Structures are given as structure tokens and as C-alpha cells.
């Protein structure tokens, strides 16, 4: 069942982005589990984008669910900001998101 496949991919460690392809050939890539929700009855999936907009998809519309191959994009985070003798110092941390 497609909903079970999605749930398994969401729980995979380490998480890999998930590609969801619909019967009309539309394709979506889910970059994080926060952007994906499966209804309790497993009949619908909700996909969110980075701006908070969402799309409700009926599970029968989904034709393919697969992990996206390749490395995760690097995400930059400013995690420390200090002043030294009037100069600014910024520390950056890199991690795979």
C-alpha cells in the first residue's frame, strides 16, 4: 500500500528526500518529514512547501514513491554571533539537511 511505503520512507534512518509522482505525471520532492503528513485512515497525504502552502493528495492518485538518490543539499546555519574589539565574528555550521 502506498501510504505504508511513504510512512516507511519517512521513518528511514538516515532520512532521504522522497519523490512522489502522481498519475498525471506531477512530481513532488519532500525534503523533510515536517513537510509531509499521512491521514489516520491512510486515504490522503498532505504535502507542505517551505512557505506553508499545502496540497492534499488522494492516495489512489499516487503512482510512485521513491527515495531521491544523491547527496542531500548542504544547509547553512548562523549559529553564533560575537563582537571582538569592535569586529564582528560569525561562526557557521554546516550539516546535511
Residues 40-56 have pLDDT tens digits of 999 999 999 888 899 99
Whether the per-residue pLDDT at 21 is higher than 60: the answer is: yes
The reply to whether 87 falls in a domain is no
Q: Has residue 77 been placed in a domain?
A: no
Indicate the number of domains in the chain.
Answer: 1
How far, in Å, CA of 15 to CA of 5, rounded? 14
Residue 79: inside a domain: no
Q: Which residues contact 60 (CB under 8 A, 6 or more apart)?
A: none
Provide the CB-side half-sphere exposure for 40 (13 A, CA): 0
> Is there a domain that residue 91 lies in?
no
Q: Does residue 23 belong to any structural domain of this protein?
A: yes
How many other C-beta atoms lie within 10 A of the C-beta of residue 36?
19
30 falls within a domain: yes
Copy the grid coordinates of residue 13: 534512518
70 pLDDT band, cuts 50/70/90, is confident
Q: Is residue 46 part of a domain?
A: yes
Instruction: Give how far the C-alpha of residue 68 lies from the chain's centroid of Cα atoms, to the nearest Å.
Output: 11
Mean pLDDT value of segment 77-85: 47
Q: Is residue 85 part of a domain?
A: no
Cell triple for 72: 542531500
- pLDDT of 97 reads 43
CATH number, position 39: 2.30.30.100
Residue numbers of the domain that contains 59:
2-70
Amino acid at each position: 500500500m502506498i501510504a505504508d511505503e511513504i510512512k516507511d520512507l519517512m521513518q528511514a534512518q538516515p532520512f532521504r528526500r522522497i519523490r512522489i509522482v502522481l498519475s498525471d505525471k506531477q512530481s513532488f520532492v519532500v525534503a523533510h518529514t515536517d513537510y509531509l503528513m499521512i491521514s489516520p485512515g491512510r486515504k490522503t497525504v498532505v504535502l507542505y512547501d517551505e512557505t506553508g502552502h499545502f496540497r492534499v493528495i488522494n492516495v489512489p492518485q499516487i503512482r510512485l514513491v521513491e527515495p531521491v538518490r544523491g547527496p542531500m543539499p548542504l544547509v547553512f546555519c548562523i549559529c553564533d554571533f560575537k563582537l571582538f574589539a569592535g569586529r564582528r565574528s560569525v561562526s557557521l555550521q554546516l550539516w546535511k539537511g
